[in-house]
Amino acid sequence: MLFFGSGSVAAAVTTVLISMLADAGVKAYPVVMSCRDEKSLPYSHPSIDRLSTFVVAVLDGDSRIMYVDASSEYGYVDVLSPRLMTGRARLMMPDNCQWLNLQQVGSHSVSRKIQATLGGDGRIDGVMSTYYYGIEAADKREAYFTAKDSADYVKSIAENTELKKEIEVYAKEKAAMVKADLLKDIKDFYGMRCISAVLPLAPATVKDIVFMLRQEQTENLLVVVGSVYNEKPQLTISVSADLVEKGLNAGKIVGQAAREMQGGGGGQPHFAQAGGKDIDGLSAAMDKMRELLKL
């Protein structure tokens, strides 16, 4: 039995694992190596002086080999630390020793899957699943078991900024889809191109959609949107620059119309929003805006 330098404890644990697997009838053999941050084993004359550690190779049938680092407390099958993923390791099998490349062992990645729907109240409801593979999974396991409070650690993953960004991207994609649908329904009223709709979306999402419409249709465009979010009505109006020059003022119009739903608000001549308390008054508020705009 050979124990290599300062890694003698790890080597002892690995040797015990090989012995246990053999007793269970599993074909397992050592894979000796020099770690990636050390000098590589020479092909021509492998030397014990270059060996620093070894892992376990488990034969699954005649062809597939799985690797286990027995010294890793939070490792898994085919999960080796970066130091062990060397391009030159030696499988020590009776009558069949061979060189191995451990750099491509296992799959190491993170993937996320989002299944969500846009609810009638403007909320995005659904499930986001995150899958960790290889070293990514090992890192998460280690962090989970070494955290002072594992529940807090899981919560911190759920609140990860990266995940929030993905949800924001999803929301923007949904907004782009709504914008595309609205563009298909442009009507001509009193010489103005007008988009008028009632949407079950949050005020911020409505604002994003309106500004996307403004960028795509820069002239002679009027956008009038009523929305309901958290059981509260909202009015949004956008007026293109050329229509502002002709005298239309979004801030004044939305402020007057919001009274129909027990609300108020205002903004700039080209864009304004107003909220209210009476959902039932939303339809009357939309009619009031059309009246003020002479639609």
Give the tens place of pLDDT for each residue, 7-16: 567 778 888 8
For the full predicted model, state whether its pTM sits above 0.85.
Answer: no
pLDDT at 123: 61
Calculate ∠ Cα 278-281-286, nearest 5°: 130
Domain with CATH 3.10.310.40 in the chain: 173-292
| CA–CA dist 233, 163 (Å, integer) | 30
DSSP classification of residue 274: E
| CA–CA dist 93, 21 (Å, integer) | 15
Between 121 and 253, whose confidence is greater? Answer: 253
Band the pLDDT of 4: cuts 50, 70, 90. very low
Q: How many CB atoms lie within 10 A of CB 246?
A: 11
Please answer whether residues 41 and 35 qualify as being in contact, where contact means their C-beta atoms are separated by less than 8 angstroms.
no
Contacts of 185 (CB under 8 A, 6+ apart): 195, 197
pLDDT at 271: 93
| CA–CA dist 44, 254 (Å, integer) | 83
173-292: which CATH topology?
A: Diaminopimelate Epimerase; Chain A, domain 1 (3.10.310)
Q: Which percentage of the chain shows pLDDT scores above 90? A: 7
Task: Give kind and range of the element (H or E) at residue 137.
Answer: helix 135-146
73-119: per-residue pLDDT in tens? Answer: 777 788 887 788 888 888 888 888 888 888 877 667 777 777 777 66
Contacts of 132 (CB under 8 A, 6+ apart): 110, 139, 140
